[in-house]
Amino acid sequence: MAKLSQDDLLAQFEEMTLIELSEFVKAFEDKFDVTAAAAVAVAGPAVGGAAPEAAEEQDEFDVILEGAGDKKIQVIKVVRELTSLGLKEAKDLVDGTPKPVLEKVAKEAAEKAAESLKAAGASVTVK
């Protein structure tokens, strides 16, 4: 078997996913009875560095029903339209405010749902 240069090994590692690389490190530690604490420490900041970027661009929103207002029946109807809940479940959701109506939906869907609920007389928060 031909000996691989350091550049060849690095090129192979670049093509691996983090999970594959983690499995390789575990196998390496088992084979040679060593620990690769320095390699894990180096990978830690790289993963942490990507997290703030994801937090800046929120793409999932929750629509929280804060109160039904005066037109409770209309709000229940809108909740049923937005969700797959039955009449009793929708009523229980409206009665138990504040409760999430929709969770982890796109911004456009959250805004449409909030507008529909507000038009029915409910107070709504989008988070």
pTM attached to this predicted model: 0.52
Alpha helical stretches, state H, 3-126: 6-14, 18-32, 37-56, 72-82, 87-95, 107-119
Mean pLDDT by 10 residues, the chain (127 residues): 83 84 84 67 48 62 86 89 86 86 86 88 87
